[in-house]
Structure 1
């Protein structure tokens, strides 16, 4: 399987503290990963760095075999990588326009945007919320809208930061059920999480941040979060 994104010599400091120093991060095309590790080790920072939202030091960067730099953040990565925050920010318009925003910002014709948004809403099970003010959404509904907003952009790499955190019962199960279908669309998915059910999804590989290093691990169904 070919590499989608490879970053060598990836490091980040907070003052004098070294948060992580990763020799090589390699993400395969059309694959899924869970990123685990104790709280505070830098999981969210790593995802945000890959999305161009955090400044990090990086040596060699390759995207689909082509060399790039992370700074300034290149257009090729901006179009290919989508990051979904643990607490998604919604615009005070409607669910439909929240999902459509990225496509419109890219200059897509409105006639093309509408059917794409409708398909994404159906996929996420939020069609009934199309005209709803996002301020009225539950936590689970917001997360599904955020996933639809990401999916409609057809990202090559989708970065999910704790997608099931603070969700209980049916809301959590609905979000978990959407993850395998993202993989089926050909996206590479990386999920920072502690959720045993996400970690145990079939075919998902495990990455673990420990002592500033990145370990590639097989899925064993257990979560060892010791530093």
Structure 2
């Protein structure tokens, strides 16, 4: 049987703040089709780690290795994030920013940036609106949305890009009640679609989703075999 190659392998990932070493990770193997919860104390560097993987924070000296669709291996500096890797990743902020336009336009933004055909954009955006349960809000401006609706639109905007790796920073932290349950259901869907999902969270319901792998960041070390 042919071994399953990792989605990405990142080496030399480190962050220092002043005289404090936040973390130092010699090698981080990101598997395919795996839901991962990243836990740790506040201030351990969980969000920083996610942002470095997404190319949103500097990662001097780090490298990333990946395999393309033809099976060819590539190795490059992580900083700046190589375009071929950037296309594979979608990042969801803890407090997502939506452009001051309609819900539909927000979800379509990344697809237009990739210059996809208009009919393809319309199809994928329509599917994403339905998936997130926000079709009835497609012409609504973000300032008229609730916190839960904003989070669902942001998840749809990430999903529509069909990323192989989704990085979610505290997707339910500011939600409660029905809004939280709706977002958990969408995250559960993403985690069962064959994508890799890495979530920073303290939500026990997300941590205890079936099949979720738990990573723990603490004392400068990332434990990828945490029970």
Say whether the fold is shared (TM-score over 0.5).
Answer: yes
- Say if 2:63 and 2:78, in contact at 8 Å, map to a contact too: no
Runs (5+) with no aligned partner, structure 1 = 220-227
Give 4+ residue runs of structure 1 displaced > 4 Å after superposition: none
Aligned length, in residue pairs: 219
- Say if 1:95 and 1:133, in contact at 8 Å, map to a contact too: yes
Give runs of aligned pairs for residues 28-107 of structure 1, distance below 5 A.
Answer: 28-64=31-67, 65-107=73-115
Pairwise CA distance, 1:102: 0.3
In structure 1, the residue corresponding to 2:166 is in which secondary structure? strand
TM normalised by structure 1 equals 0.93
Corresponding residue number in structure 2 for 1:17: 20
Corresponding residue number in structure 1 for 2:135: 127
Corresponding residue number in structure 1 for 2:187: 179
Instruction: Give the distance between the partners of 1:198 and 1:58, measured in 2 at CA.
Output: 33
Instruction: Give the distance between the partners of 2:210 and 2:94, measured in 1 at CA.
Output: 23
1:161 aligns with 2:202: no
Corresponding residue number in structure 1 for 2:70: none
Runs (5+) with no aligned partner, structure 2 = 68-72
In structure 2, the residue corresponding to 1:62 is in which secondary structure? strand
- Say if 1:7 and 1:58, in contact at 8 Å, map to a contact too: no
Root mean square deviation, CA, Å: 1.3
Instruction: Give the distance between the partners of 1:60 and 1:50, measured in 2 at CA.
Output: 10
Pairwise CA distance, 1:155: 0.3
Instruction: Give the distance between the partners of 2:62 and 2:80, measured in 1 at CA.
Output: 14
Instruction: Give the distance between the partners of 2:196 and 2:61, measured in 1 at CA.
Output: 21
Moved more, 106-115 or 165-174: 106-115
In structure 1, the residue corresponding to 2:116 is in which secondary structure? coil
In structure 2, the residue corresponding to 1:3 is in which secondary structure? coil
In structure 2, the residue corresponding to 1:150 is in which secondary structure? helix
Instruction: Give the distance between the partners of 2:173 and 2:225, measured in 1 at CA.
Output: 22
Please list the CA deviations of residues 154-179 of structure 1 after superposition, one character each: whole Å capped at 9, or x if unmatched: 00100000000010010000011111
Instruction: Give the distance between the partners of 1:168 and 1:157, measured in 2 at CA.
Output: 26
Instruction: Give the distance between the partners of 1:75 and 1:15, measured in 2 at CA.
Output: 31
Corresponding residue number in structure 1 for 2:221: 213
